[in-house]
């Protein structure tokens, strides 16, 4: 089954869909470094860095080598900054949201059997639901049946509290399904639409599911790292310590991108006071940054957090900066590395990230967790087979 991915970033969505059995023939991202990572890890796919607004119908059909209707799946995450709950301005007039229309224009040219759109949970409440209504109206006008849910990555074996809104549209079927949870993982969904759109796991079903994948399931086999150190292209020093590690180490014999940033003297002093699962509240008042000295105890719950080995990680961001979340290593006095962030996102170890350390963290943080994408892909594959 053939797949194209627009707004592909480093390729987390394509990586998972490949695991589900789709063959990637095209990836597109305007950021050259992200496109380079996609190309490195998907060598058989065409990679486009052009602005998609400038791609004509002839260009798209030529790049894919397909006629309208032959493609199985178009997937992608059109830029979501304008939809984020945390964005200062959440408006339909945001220029970044117009790229949604470009994505649907390309889908209309290719006329695939299925269309997959992923975005942040905030898209559900944008414009009091008008963004979702616009997507539905456009897809239905194109002849597709469409449905959407907010999926939780922890349900699919990802050791992370991450939610994504997933739209699935099918050309020749009225029945749309979403992947059922396989793991008994939980997180607080504090956003609009959570009750109606998140998949709920009843207590009786929860007892039949596998246990959640934990931070330690993800990280325990990786070598210790000094501040500012990079371990790259180096053989493993330990055998896999968990089922999750066995899965991510398939087809890999070495560790790549295991590098972290240095920490300032103030953060190193703060770290001494933070236990596993702890946060800024455990730091003595006089050592806190000025902003947190004025904060209420109920605010900024994840800032300066040290990960607990037996729990899920908080959402991996484009900057794994302790000031913004829980990104201190469970047992070492440092922030997590790129490879550790990639493990928490469920990228396989053979997936190599290009660019600077900052760009690598951005690529990992922006990605769809591959194991979550795999579950979605397996469901779509079954629906269109």
Residue positions annotated with a catalytic role: 80
Residue 259: enclosing H or E segment and its boundaries? strand 258-259
Q: Which of helix, strand or coil describes residue 46?
A: strand
CA distances from 114 to 13, 107, 140, 165 (A): 15, 9, 13, 16
Distance CA 188, CA 30 (A): 34
Distance CA 300, CA 280 (A): 8
Strand partners, 3: 24, 73
Q: Which of 154, 153, 138, 358 is nearest to 260 (CA)?
A: 358
Which residue in this structure is represented by tokens 């961001």? 317
Give the tokens for residue 161: 């509290």
Q: Which of 33, 19, 63 is nearest to 45 (CA)?
A: 63
Distance CA 224, CA 222 (A): 7
Asked whether the CA dihedral 141, 143, 145, 149 is positive or negative, the reply is negative
Distance CA 191, CA 195 (A): 9
Burial of 362 (0-12, 13-18, 19+ CB in 10 A): buried
Strand partners, 184: 211
Give the tokens for residue 68: 């309208």
Asked whether the CA dihedral 285, 289, 294, 297 is positive or negative, the reply is negative
Q: Which of 23, 8, 20, 6 is nearest to 376 (CA)?
A: 20
């Amino acid at each position: 089954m053939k797949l194209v991915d627009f707004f592909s970033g480093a390729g987390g969505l394509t990586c998972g869909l490949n695991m589900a059995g789709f063959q990637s023939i095209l990836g597109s991202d305007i950021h050259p470094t992200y496109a380079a990572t996609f190309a490195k890890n998907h060598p058989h796919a065409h990679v486009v860095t052009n602005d998609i607004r400038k791609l004509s119908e002839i260009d798209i059909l030529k790049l894919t080598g397909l006629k309208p209707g032959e493609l199985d799946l178009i997937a992608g995450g059109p830029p979501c900054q304008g939809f984020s709950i945390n964005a200062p301005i959440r408006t339909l007039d945001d220029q970044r949201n117009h790229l949604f229309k470009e994505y649907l224009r390309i889908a209309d040219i290719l006329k695939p059997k299925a269309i997959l759109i992923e975005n942040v949970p905030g898209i559900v409440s944008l414009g009091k639901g008008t963004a979702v209504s616009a997507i539905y109206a456009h897809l239905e006008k194109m002849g597709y049946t469409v449905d959407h849910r907010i999926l939780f990555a922890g349900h699919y074996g990802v050791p992370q509290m991450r939610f994504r809104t997933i739209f699935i549209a099918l050309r020749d079927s009225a029945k749309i399904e979403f992947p059922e949870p396989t793991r008994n993982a939980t997180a607080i969904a504090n956003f609009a639409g959570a009750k109606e759109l998140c998949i709920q796991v009843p207590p009786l079903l929860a007892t039949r599911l596998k246990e959640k994948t934990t931070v330690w399931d993800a990280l325990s086999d990786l070598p210790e790292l000094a501040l500012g150190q990079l371990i790259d292209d180096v053989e493993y020093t330990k055998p896999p310590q968990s089922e999750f590690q066995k899965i991510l180490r398939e087809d890999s014999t070495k560790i790549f991108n295991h590098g972290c940033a240095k920490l300032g003297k103030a953060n190193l002093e703060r770290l001494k006071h933070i236990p596993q699962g702890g946060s800024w509240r455990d730091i003595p008042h006089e050592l806190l940054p000025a902003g947190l000295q004025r904060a209420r105890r109920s605010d900024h719950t994840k800032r300066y957090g040290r990960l607990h080995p037996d729990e899920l990680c908080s959402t991996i961001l484009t900057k794994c900066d302790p000031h913004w979340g829980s990104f201190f290593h469970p047992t070492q006095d440092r922030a997590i590395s790129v490879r550790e962030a990639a493990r928490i996102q469920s990228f396989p170890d053979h997936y190599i990230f290009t660019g600077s350390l900052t760009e690598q963290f951005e690529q990992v943080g922006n990605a769809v967790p591959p194991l979550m994408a795999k579950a979605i892909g397996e469901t779509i594959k079954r629906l269109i087979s």
